[in-house]
């Protein structure tokens, strides 16, 4: 089972975790990740996406994760619109019978989001000027370990 939600409104990580589906009989682990907007030199971050295309692309990534690891459920909640430093920007949750699969699948999904998801980012600097943001080299290097250069959605 997989769910993807793109939110133009604030994201509450505690609600994401509290409502994340899990089975009392089969779930042995839930790994989650929450990313926040860093404020180093910026006053805001704006994200844009194509409705439908973004969700479908992320769902394909979750399907790819489920072929690699025995996961039960994966959920991605991602913000779009204008965010301020300190705002939660993304929440990823993965459940599995075992922690290693949950951790690995969560990391795989997050690495994909950083380098290949169809989300476009702009930062507003302290002077009020907007600049487009590209994925960093270190993010591409992390994604390469999963073979993501071939896994463009």
How does pLDDT run across 90-133, given as a tens digit for each residue? 999 999 999 999 999 999 999 999 998 999 999 999 999 999 99
CA distance 44 to 39: 8
Over residues 62-70, mean pLDDT: 96
- DSSP alpha helix (H) spans, 20-52: none
Angle at 138 between CA 72 and CA 113, to 5 degrees: 35
Over residues 24-31, mean pLDDT: 92
Q: What is each CA distance from 124 to 36, 83, 114, in whole angstroms?
A: 16, 10, 19
Report the pLDDT value the prediction gives residue 64, as an integer from 0 to 100: 95
More confident residue, 66 or 134: 66
**Contact assessment for residue 74 and residue 91, using Cβ atoms and an 8 Å cutoff:** no
User: pLDDT band at 149, cuts 50/70/90?
Assistant: low
Report the pLDDT value the prediction gives residue 150, as an integer from 0 to 100: 42
The fold adopted by the segment(s) 2-9+44-144 is Aldehyde Oxidoreductase; domain 3 (3.90.1170)
User: Rounded to 5 degrees, what are φ and ψ at 147?
Assistant: 75, 30
Instruction: Kindly tell me if the per-residue pLDDT of 81 is higher than 50.
Output: yes
Residues 6+ apart with CB under 8 A from 115: 135, 139, 140, 143, 148
What is the chain's Cα-based Rg?
16
SS3 63: helix
Percent of the chain at pLDDT above 70? 96
Instruction: Kindly tell me if the per-residue pLDDT of 16 is higher than 70.
Output: yes
Report the pLDDT value the prediction gives residue 124, as an integer from 0 to 100: 96
Token reading at 65: 């994760």
- Residue of 43, 67, 54, 70 whose CA lies nearest to 5: 54
Instruction: Kindly tell me if the per-residue pLDDT of 8 is higher than 60.
Output: yes
What is the pairing mode between strands 88-96 and 42-49? unpaired
């Amino acid at each position: 089972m997989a769910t993807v939600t793109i939110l133009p409104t604030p994201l509450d990580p505690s609600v994401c975790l509290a409502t994340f589906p899990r089975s009392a009989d089969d779930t042995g682990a839930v790994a989650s990740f929450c990313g926040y907007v860093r404020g180093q030199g910026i006053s805001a971050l704006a994200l844009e996406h194509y409705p439908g295309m973004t969700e479908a692309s992320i769902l394909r990534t979750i399907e790819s994760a489920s072929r690699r690891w025995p996961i039960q459920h994966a959920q991605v909640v991602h913000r779009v619109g204008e965010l301020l430093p300190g705002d939660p920007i993304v929440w990823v949750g993965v459940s599995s019978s075992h922690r290693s699969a949950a951790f690995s699948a969560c990391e795989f999904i997050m690495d994909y989001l950083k380098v290949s998801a169809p989300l476009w980012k702009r930062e507003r600097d302290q002077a009020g000027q907007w600049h487009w943001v590209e994925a960093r080299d270190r993010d591409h290097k992390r994604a390469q370990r999963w073979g993501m250069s071939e896994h463009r959605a």
